[in-house]
Structure 1
Amino acid sequence: MNESKLEEQTPQSAPAFALTSGRARGYHRTAVDTFLASARRAFETGGDELGAEDVRTASFPLVKGGYVVADVDAALGRVEDAFAARERERTVRARGAGAWVEQARADAQVILDHLARPRRRRFGRTGVLTFGYRIDEVDHVSTRIVRYLRDGDALTAEQLRSAAFRMQRGGYREEQVDALLDATIDVILAVR
C-alpha cells in the first residue's frame, strides 16, 4: 500500500474544540494545541514556567477554519483558574493565609484608588485620530468593579474575561484598561 493511501485511511485526531465554518475566523489550531500542551506539562510537573497571568494573556492568530474563539477562551479560563488556585496554595503554604489576604486587599485598594478618578478620566486616552475602547462602556464596567470591591456586589472573573468594548476615536487606551481588568481578575481569583 502506498503512503498516500495509508494517509487517507489513517484517521486524523479529532480537534480539541469546535471549528469555525465558512468565512468565520477562529484561533489557529496548532498554536492553541501547542500552548495547552505546554500548560498541561507545566501544571502536572509543578513547574513555574507558566502561571495564571501567562494563560490570561495568551493570544493566538485568527485563521479560517480555526477553533471557535469562545470555546477556547472558556477552556483557558478554567486553566487560568487552576493555575491561580495552585499559586494561592503555594503562597499560603509559604507565607500563611494572612499574607495572601493582605496582598489581595492591597491589590484591591490600588484598583479602587485608580477607579476613584472622575468618570471619563479613569484611563489615558488615545489621540483624536486613534481608536481606543469606548469610554462609556469601560466606565460602566469600572463602576461594577468598584461595587464588587467596595460593596461586595456580585462579579465573576468570567464576566471580566468576556468583557468586550466597542472602539471610538479618542477612547481609553486599551493596554491600561486591560491591565486593570487583569488585576481585578487576580483579586477575584485570590479571594475565591
Structure 2
Amino acid sequence: MSTFPLTRKSKLGYDTEQVDEFLKTARLAYDGDDATAATLTAADIRHTAFPLRKGGYSTLHVDAALERLEDAFAARERDAARAAKGEAVWFEEARTTAQVVLNRLARPLGHRFDRVSIFTYGYNRADVDRFAGRLVRYFQDAKPMGVDEVRTITFRPQRGGYRESQVDLLLDSVTDVMLAVR
C-alpha cells in the first residue's frame, strides 16, 4: 500500500523511495528516536525537494503533508524556544525578524531586492512588489494572511527581475515569523 496516491505511469510525481525515506527520518526526528534525525527542523522540511519520476507520488498530496509536518515541527520548536528563553525573549526575536523584513520592504518599488542581469530571468518586480505590499499590511495593519499564501506564492519570470534567492530568503523569514507567532 502506498503512503500517498500515485500518479499515472505516464505522469511525473515525487520519487516514492525518497519520499518514504524522508518521512521515516522525519518520524524518528519528531519522536526523538534517532540522534542524527533529531537535527531536522521546520526550515529543513520547508526546503526539502524530491526528484520527479513517472508514476511517483502525487506532488499535491506530498506537498500538503510536508506543510503539515513543517507546522508540527515549528510548533514544537516554538514551544522549546519559549521554554528555554522565556516568553519575552522569544517574542522579541520574532519581532526583530519581522522588523528586518519590514525594513527591506520599505525600500522603493522596483528596488527592494538586487536585480539580475538583463540577460537573466528573475522574479517579476511588479509581482514581488505587489505581494510585498500585502506583507507590509499583514505586519503593520494586522491584515489577515495565511502562511500557506507565503509558502505557495509564485511570481512570473522577468529578464532583469529581482534576484530569486533574495526574495526566497525573505519569504522564508516571513514564514518563520508567521509560524513563530501562531
TM-score by length of 1: 0.88
Question: Does residue 140 of the first structure (1) align with residue 103 of the second (2)?
Answer: no
After superposition, the C-alpha distances for 1:71-116 in whole angstroms (9 at most, x for unaligned) are: 1111111111111111111111111111111111000000000010
Gaps in structure 1 of 5+ consecutive residues: 1-13
The counterpart of 1:69, out of the listed 59, 81, 88, is: 59
Question: Does residue 176 of the first structure (1) align with residue 163 of the second (2)?
Answer: no
Root mean square deviation of aligned Cα: 1.4
Percent of residue pairs bearing the same amino acid type: 49
Q: Which residue of 2 aligns with 1:34?
A: 21
List, as ranges, runs of 4+ consecutive aligned residues in structure 1 with deviation greater than 3 Å. Answer: none
Q: Which residue of 1 aligns with 2:154?
A: 164
Alignment partner of 1:168: what SS? strand
After superposition, the C-alpha distances for 1:138-176 in whole angstroms (9 at most, x for unaligned) are: 112111111111110011111111111221211111111
Structure (1 or 2) with the larger CA radius of gyration: 1
Q: Quote the Cα distance in structure 2 between the aligned partners of 1:163 and 1:142.
A: 11
Q: Give the number of equivalent residue pairs.
A: 179
Question: Does residue 17 of the first structure (1) align with residue 4 of the second (2)?
Answer: yes
Q: Quote the Cα distance in structure 2 between the aligned partners of 1:111 and 1:148.
A: 12
Alignment partner of 1:172: what SS? coil
Q: Quote the Cα distance in structure 2 between the aligned partners of 1:60 and 1:78.
A: 17
Q: Which residue of 1 aligns with 2:70?
A: 80
The counterpart of 1:104, out of the listed 94, 99, 109, is: 94
TM-score by length of 2: 0.93
